[in-house]
Structure 1
Amino acid sequence: MLLTLPSTFIFIIMRRDKNGWGASISVAHSREERGREQMPETRIGEVTIEKSPAYFHSKMAPERIKSLNPNIKIIIVVRDPVTRAISDYTQSSSKRKRVGLMPSFETMAVGDCANWLRANCTTKTRGVNAGWGAIRIGVYHKHMKRWLDHFPSQNIHIVDGEKLISNPADEISATEKFLGLSPVAKPENFGVDPIKKFPCLKNDDGKLHCLGKTKGRHHPDVEPSVMRALKEFYGPENKKFYQMVNHWFDW
């Protein structure tokens, strides 16, 4: 099982067993055999997930993964690419605090970002620095095509990242069905972090089990004109993706 996320929301399939809620995650970043060695032992009735967000936009990943297992099932979580870009920037800027602050999101998205990026920021696409990774990754149809070139659509499940936050039980139930698992997820299994407003798992005692402090960061306020430019940039790109996966999102 491969899980790839072009969003910063970390989605983990959680299954309830006699020990309560649990997750089995192993991330393999190297050659095939080493990757297999890093995966945990999978017992009967279990599904092991390998989670690597960068796989989605990798040019080589689909072909290599197919050679490893042509029957693998793939889960891809997508969200509004504008929100995804802001989230990407928020994460990157938080990591760079020790070496100097990044320019504003507005500068990186539509301004002169040449001093910060290898991409040519003087040549814009519909007014946007499309070469910036935070923007480029959100052009989902270009990445999705590579996966559909190597895997049948029935092996790929698309999760709506926005609904995963607002209604996690429904999205996880659909994923359980895709995996052929007995239904477990129910609305009462989830709660909301009172500060971050992110969904959390609810234990039997009612206590919340939430994601780490790096998830659900506060996003910067972005100038309305820049938001409009990004919406206009992604509009036609989103439509191509919707048609490709035969699903219309509310972006």
Structure 2
Amino acid sequence: MELVRSFTWIFIRKNGSSFVCLGIIMLVYCLIYSYTKVGNSSPKKIPKYGMRKRIPDALIIGVKKGGTFAMAEFLKYHPEVKLSGYERHFFDNDINYAKGLHYYIEKMPLSGPEHLVIERTATYFNKFTAAKRVHDTNPNMKLILLVKDPIERLVSDFLETQKHLRHDWSAFNSLVVKNHSSGRIEVHDNFWMGVDIGKYDIHYQNWAQYFGPSQLLVVSSEKFVEKPWEELERVQNFLGIAVQITKSNFTSSTGKFWSIFCDKTGRSKCLHEDKGRAHPEINETVRIALKDFYRPRVAAFERMVGMKFGWMED
């Protein structure tokens, strides 16, 4: 603005104070004001040299209620990471996807060439069309997948739905199983999407069509809860960034799990109090039906990823 004022003074001295001159000066002021301000008082964020918005380098694709929020919260403290703050639902939402890549890029944070851009949407994993869309956008994309015991994940999902829709816990049984007149209980396979999300083998196979093992890292949610620094070390190595988030950055929380993250400035970040909340007991008959339903799918998934999770063990 000082430069503009100097220019204005020189311009008036050379050209007098005609209405035309004043009009040009006012136009210059308005253009500069509109570029540097939003509304009346909020300064507009002007990109630093070399900073721009671009397609992400990595995605946290799921699973829902598997710890994706915590993973993103911890990774954003890494100096090389730029995280998109919200779930963007671009690749799993037909309406958003139809808006085009420019729409998606505008939702990304400003980043420099030294940064790794990460976006998190926990429902990408179980949306069939998302894998191809991601590959079409960036075939070199790195993918982080957190997986959790599908039965415990199902309960967490229901509790989240209950929180918003005020369902009673008793509604859980009617959503996930159906009773036959013979007394046999069968899982509602296609009744509620929550049940479908736990078919990890089917969804993983879909993503594996487009991305190889070197691009798709599977993280155990249970291990992440128990010792987050160990899984974060795997994630940082997978992303090709320096391992700067370690055990020294964590301190225990209320006893539920390691939920407080301390960065190097001494600040702390505590996850929301509803994270890691206690689960009500599932009816034993319903639990057995769910185990019978998920057991072969878990076994297939374990073979695909070369990992053992121990979810279906008695």
Q: Under a length normalisation based on structure 2, what TM-score does the superposition of the two structures give?
A: 0.68
CA positional deviation for 1:150: 1.2
Corresponding position of 2:62: 5
Q: In 1, distance between residues paired with 2:113 and 2:295?
A: 45
Please give the per-residue CA displacement for 1:178-230, whole angstroms capped at 9, x wherever unaligned: 01111112212112320643532124576641222442233222122222221
In the alignment, structure 1 segments of 5+ residues that lack a partner are 113-120
Of 171, 181, 192, 1:104 maps to 171
Whether the 8 Å contact between 1:90 and 1:217 is mirrored in structure 2 is no
Please give the per-residue CA displacement for 1:18-38, whole angstroms capped at 9, x wherever unaligned: xxx986224433232210111
Judged with a 3 Å threshold, the aligned counterparts in structure 2 of structure 1 residues 140 and 127 are, in CA distance, closer, same or farther, namely: same
In the alignment, structure 2 segments of 5+ residues that lack a partner are 1-57, 91-95
Task: Check if 1:130 corresponds to 2:186.
Answer: no
Counterpart AA for 1:129 = H
Please give the per-residue CA displacement for 1:94-127, whole angstroms capped at 9, x wherever unaligned: 1102xx6464322322246xxxxxxxx99xx972
Please give the per-residue CA displacement for 1:156-189, whole angstroms capped at 9, x wherever unaligned: 1111111010010000000001011111122121
Whether the 8 Å contact between 1:7 and 1:79 is mirrored in structure 2 is no
Larger Rg computed on CA atoms: 2
Whether the 8 Å contact between 2:227 and 2:258 is mirrored in structure 1 is no
CA positional deviation for 1:149: 0.7
Of 77, 81, 99, 2:146 maps to 77
CA positional deviation for 1:60: 0.8
Of 83, 87, 90, 2:156 maps to 87
Task: Check if 1:14 corresponds to 2:76.
Answer: yes
Corresponding position of 1:152: 212
Counterpart mapping for 1:21-60 below 5 A:
24-26=83-85, 27-28=87-88, 29=90, 30-31=96-97, 32-60=101-129
Judged with a 3 Å threshold, the aligned counterparts in structure 2 of structure 1 residues 56 and 126 are, in CA distance, closer, same or farther, namely: farther
Please give the per-residue CA displacement for 1:15-72, whole angstroms capped at 9, x wherever unaligned: 344xxx9862244332322101111122233211111111101111111111111111
Corresponding position of 1:116: none
Task: Check if 1:245 corresponds to 2:314.
Answer: no
* SS of residue in 2 equivalent to 1:48: strand
Q: In 1, distance between residues paired with 2:251 and 2:172?
A: 31
Whether the 8 Å contact between 1:78 and 1:158 is mirrored in structure 2 is yes
Q: Under a length normalisation based on structure 1, what TM-score does the superposition of the two structures give?
A: 0.84
Q: In 2, distance between residues paired with 1:22 and 1:36?
A: 16
CA positional deviation for 1:128: 1.2
Counterpart AA for 2:176 = A
Corresponding position of 1:140: 200
Which fold has the larger relative contact order, with Cα–Cα distance below 8 Å and residues 6 or more apart in sequence? Answer: 1
Q: In 2, distance between residues paired with 1:242 and 1:196?
A: 27
Whether the 8 Å contact between 2:126 and 2:197 is mirrored in structure 1 is yes
Q: In 2, distance between residues paired with 1:230 and 1:86?
A: 11
